[in-house]
Amino acid sequence: MRREQDFLDRLRARVVALETAAGEAVSAALRQDVISAQSRLERDVMVAEQSGLLAAFASGEEGLCFGRLVFQDGGDHHIGRIGIRADDDERTPLVVDWRADMARPFYLATGHTPMGLRRRRHITTHRNQVTALHDEILDLEDTERSGYEGSDADAVLLSALDAARTGRMHDIVQTIQADQDRIIRAPHQGVMVVEGGPGTGKTAVALHRAAYLLYAQRELLARRAVLIVGPNAAFLSYIGQVLPSLGETGVLLATPAELYPGVVATGRDTPLAAAVKGGAAMADALAAHLRDLQRLPEQAALVIEHEDGVLLLDRQIAAAARERARAAQLPHNLARPHFAFSVIDQLTAQLVERIGADPYGGPNLLGPDDQAQLGKAVATSPAVHAAIEELWPLLTPEQLVADFLADPTHLPHHEAEAIRRPDPSASVPPQEPDWTPADVALLDEAAELLGDDDSARRAAEEARRQQAIAYAQGVLDLSYGSRTLEFEDKDEEDSEVLAAHDLIDAERLADRQEELDHRSAAERAAADRTWAFGHIIVDEAQELSPMLWRLLMRRCPTRSMTLVGDPAQTSEPGGCGSWDAALTPHVGDRWQRVVLDVNYRTPAEIMDVAARIPQATDPAYTPPRSVRSTGVPPRAEHVADTAALPAAVARVVAEEQRALTGTERRLAVIATPEHHATLLAELPMASAATGSLEVTPDLTQPVVLLTPGQAKGLEFDAVVVVEPDGFGANELYVALTRATQRLAVVHADTLPHALAPALTEPTRTRAAI
Ligand SMILES: Nc1ncnc2c1ncn2[C@@H]1O[C@H](COP(=O)(O)OP(=O)(O)OP(=O)(O)O)[C@@H](O)[C@H]1O
């Protein structure tokens, strides 16, 4: 242990030096000009690596070194959360990154397949002190002993699983299990579905897979970034620390509601509306609605007053133009010039016919120049433009979706009624639409149907560039105003110190600043709807609607994806439910499914009760096998009426907190939203997201109040479920499987049918209320 401590001390000294160097390297790289795409890529890769190092160091000392591998051929390597090299000429590895091939036997070697190992050591540290060693001998001929053999290597795993929760997910690099390792290191191409019941480590595996891919495919992924989609903001803050602690920052974390840049989806849909909006039929309905907006004149013809006489835009002209525009097979806004040119040509022909007609029946009297002149006048006529706008309007995605929702066509009546809402731009004064999460996929679909009309974007870019030039001019003016005049009194103008204003004009300065786009690839991706990610990871993927699958597939043309989820936990009304239904339309049968079946979170006593929920509808449902048991069965408290519920919950919370050993423990109360106000009155210390100011509950607080939806993917030492009869079956399954130690159910209504027998005497304690 002393030798390992000495090693750790040396490692720490090296980390301090590296931390300073990495900080300096990042600031220097960001100051540096990048001229070519190649140098920008190199800079991106370098900045990603060095900021990753900084993030990994910032997340603490734990796990800097957690293992050691002694090979039969004499090789001897320490393993850590990130790779660290010595400051010598060879840059000798002090600690090998857990993702390196050399580290693999740490996770996979067995007595049967030792992978060249003699001995594997687990090193446990706490605040820079080595606190325990566990040695495993893998070469049976090896007779040397350290004194730390024989102890149960599973002890390291079990102590990690028993540890108090902090409200933040931690990395599992020290204890990745073999079946998890195979998923984490699977090749990045193709679609991989990781399925498993509650607590089987799906999220942990997905995050470590992201870290592995960023390591193994550094160049590709530093450029294209990785997108991780999680169900809600609370979940993203729960998992947000894992990748930085593994030295990875090139990742964009987003909820599905955040996937359309520029839109913050704060509105709410009814469950039926969300299901309708998420349905696959919506893509066709929206496309058909857009075709309806490509109109023909309602009367016989649109009459256009023009300086050379009246023009008649009749149905025939409009139909011919529409046909030509549709034949171009372009998105609506991009096809619009085809429509416009056809209309203009036909109206010009009308004028030419009228003005140049030979009264004696001979050929038209107008020459090509006259005709071109007339064409120009038609093309620039505001009245003609207004007519074109009426028949083939230029639309933004927001306008198209708002128009569709105000009058949802091409849908069965009851579905249309479920999603109908007034067009906010039609109100006086016009309002910003209150977009809902389900609208996000519609907006994205609309953007595809309309096409990226980059004239608007280019105009915005130019406006931004002009602003940058104005800013640069301001900088130059300042630099001129504050020029150094220290030698002026000697009347020697030349001796002025050269400043920016002497060397460069505003436009060039603005251009140079343009090149210095300091955003990382992940930040650039967040602002760009058309960004193609290098890899996408979706957690709780069972919740995604068909429309969201369409959106995500567009963001990943290479279809390099890891999808983790559990169909038994589906609770979103539009959720796809089956992997086949979700994936076949996009990748056919070219996806593979792997299953995780060991539950690392929920003790056996709790899992036995929780599993009865899915088993009530599917008796063949097999829950994942819990690795731990605590000897503490879940308990139920029945109160006489709903009014007594909050006080009973507060008492149970206090009891559960006392029952948890250790000081820093986390407890969640999970209840449907209508109970939150009364519960908060009795639980003033609880963090909740019901107030408008607090968007997500603070999961690091000792007590957190959550809705079943917010609890998705999270875990706590103890959980109190309130009035479970109000939960949907899958929501209840999620809620009951969030605890690592203790579970209590408090109810005034009857218990759900499936739970009642499991929670009755003798394990059930009755409240004396
Ligand atoms: N190999 C491991 N070593 C240590 N802890 C692990 C390991 N695998 C999983 N865990 C822990 O088990 C818990 C459950 O993992 P995770 O949240 O990833 O499960 P999940 O399958 O996503 O669950 P759910 O579907 O219920 O949200 C976490 O605390 C995680 O850190």
Query: What spacing in Å lies between the alpha carbon of 441 and ligand 1's midpoint?
Result: 30
Judge whether residue 288 has pLDDT over 50.
Answer: yes
Q: Which helix or strand (DSSP H or E) is residue 509 part of?
A: helix 506-515
Residue 380 marked ligand-binding = no
d(CA 643, CA 408): 43
Which of 423 and 722 is assigned the larger pLDDT? Answer: 722
Q: Is 173 in the pocket of ligand 1 (CB under 6 A)?
A: no
Residues 548 and 441: beta-carbon distance below 8 Å: yes
Comparing C-alpha atoms, which of 471, 469, 479 is closest to residue 502?
Answer: 479
**What confidence tier does 453 reach under pLDDT thresholds 50, 70, 90?**
low
Q: Is the CB of 241 under 6 A from ligand 1?
A: no
Q: Are strands 635-638 and 739-747 parallel, antiparallel or unpaired?
A: parallel
Handedness of CA 753, 758, 759, 761 (dihedral sign): positive
Would you say residue 605 has pLDDT above 80?
yes
Q: What is the mean pLDDT of residues 408-420?
A: 93
Residue 693 has pLDDT above 50, yes or no: no
Structure confidence at residue 499 (pLDDT): 43
Q: Residue 739 pLDDT > 60, yes or no?
A: yes
Query: What is the pLDDT at residue 173?
Result: 87
Between 182 and 428, residue with greater pLDDT: 182
Residue nearest to atom 23 of ligand 1 (CA): 199
pLDDT band at 41 (very low <50, low <70, confident <90, very high): low
The pLDDT of 675-683, averaged and rounded, is: 92
pLDDT above 50 (res 333)? yes
Q: Which two tokens stand for residue 292?
A: 């309806």
Higher pLDDT, 474 or 378: 378
Cα-flanking dihedrals φ and ψ of residue 82, to 5°? -135, 155
Ligand 1: does its nearest atom lie under 6 Å from the Cβ of 181? Answer: no
Q: What pLDDT sits at residue 481? A: 45
Nearest CA to ligand 1 atom 8: 201
Atom of ligand 1 nearest to the CA of 161: 5
Q: What is the mean pLDDT of residues 83-105?
A: 90
- Give me the amino acid identity at 454: D
Strands of the 93-97 sheet, one edge to the other: 84-85, 93-97, 76-80, 67-71, 117-126, 129-137
pLDDT at 301 over 80: no
Give per-residue pLDDT as tens, 371-382.
888 889 888 888
CB 536 within 8 A of CB 208: no
Examine the pLDDT at 46 and tell me if it is beyond 90. no
Angle between helices 332-355 and 382-391 (to 10 degrees): 130
At residue 513, the pLDDT reads 47
Predicted confidence at residue 20, as pLDDT, reads 87
In whole angstroms, what is the distance from residue 602 CA to residue 630 CA?
A: 10
What is the tens place of the pLDDT at every residue in 203-238?
999 999 999 998 898 878 878 889 999 988 888 988
Binning pLDDT at 50, 70 and 90, where does residue 183 land?
A: very high
pLDDT digits (tens, 9 = 90+) for 56-82: 887 777 788 999 999 999 899 999 998
Point out the ligand 1 atom lying closest to the alpha carbon of residue 198: 26
DSSP-derived letter for residue 220 is H
Query: Mind listing the pLDDT tens digit for each residue in 492-518?
Result: 444 344 444 444 555 555 554 444 455
Task: Decide: helix, strand or coil at residue 585.
Answer: helix
Percent of the chain with pLDDT over 90: 47
C-alpha span between 226 and 217 (Å, rounded): 11
List of residues 6+ apart from 449 with CB closer than 8 A: 286, 287, 290, 331, 332, 400
362 assigned ligand-binding residue: no
* pLDDT recorded at residue 422: 82
Atom 15 (ligand 1) nearest CA: 201
> pLDDT band for position 272 (50/70/90)?
very high
pLDDT at 505: 56
The pLDDT value recorded for residue 480 is 45
Average pLDDT over residues 265-282: 92
| Mean pLDDT of the chain, nearest integer | 84
> Which ipTM did the prediction report?
0.99
The pair of three-digit structure tokens given for residue 458, joined into one six-digit string: 């280019």
Q: Global pTM?
A: 0.83
Between 182 and 433, the higher pLDDT residue: 182
Q: Is 180 in the pocket of ligand 1 (CB under 6 A)?
A: yes
Q: How confident is the model at residue 147 (pLDDT cuts 50, 70, 90)?
A: confident
Lookup: tokens for 391:
């028949």
Nearest to 676 by CA among 649, 713, 714, 715: 649
Cα–Cα distance, 67 to 74 (Å, whole number): 16
Q: Which atom of ligand 1 is nearest to the CA of 180?
A: 1
Give residue 362's pLDDT. Answer: 83
pLDDT of residue 11 exceeding 70, the answer is yes
The amino acid at 157: L
Q: Counting beta carbons within 10 angstroms of the beta carbon of residue 235, is it exposed (0 to 12), middle (13 to 18) or buried (19 or more)?
A: buried
Residue position matching structure tokens 């071109």: 372
Mean pLDDT, residues 261-273 = 89
Sorting pLDDT into bands at 50, 70 and 90, what band is 35?
Answer: low
List of residues 6+ apart from 241 with CB closer than 8 A: 59, 168, 169, 170
510 membership: H or E segment, kind and range: helix 506-515
Is residue 728 a known part of a binding site? no
Which has the higher per-residue pLDDT, 284 or 124?
284
Q: What is the 596 CA–ligand 1 centroid distance (Å)? A: 11
Average pLDDT value for residue range 117-122: 91
DSSP 750: P
The CB of 177 under 6 Å from ligand 1? The reply is: yes
**In the structure encoding, which two tokens stand for residue 283, read together?**
């893509």
- The Cα 48–Cα 30 span in angstroms is 11
**Is the Cβ atom of 198 under 6 angstroms away from ligand 1?**
yes
Residue of 380, 383, 313 lying closest to 350 (CA atoms): 313
Whole-Å CA distances, 720 to 22, 377, 419, 421 = 45, 75, 35, 38
pLDDT surpasses 80 at 456? no
Please name the residues in contact with 740: beta carbons below 8 A apart, sequence gap of 6 or more. 161, 162, 165, 601, 602, 603, 715, 716, 717
Is residue 200 part of an annotated ligand binding site?
yes
- Type of residue at 704: V
Beta bridge partner(s), residue 311? 304
Residue 151 has pLDDT above 90, yes or no: no
The runs of H, that is alpha helices, within 65-197 are 104-108, 154-162, 178-184
744 CB neighbour count, 10 Å cutoff: 24
- Whose C-alpha lies nearest to ligand 1, atom 1? 176
Mean pLDDT of 271-295: 95
Is residue 663 part of an annotated ligand binding site?
Answer: no
The distance in angstroms from the start CA to the end CA of the chain is: 56
The mean pLDDT of 117-144, rounded to a whole number, is 86
Flag the least confident range among 205-214, 474-483, 727-736.
Answer: 474-483
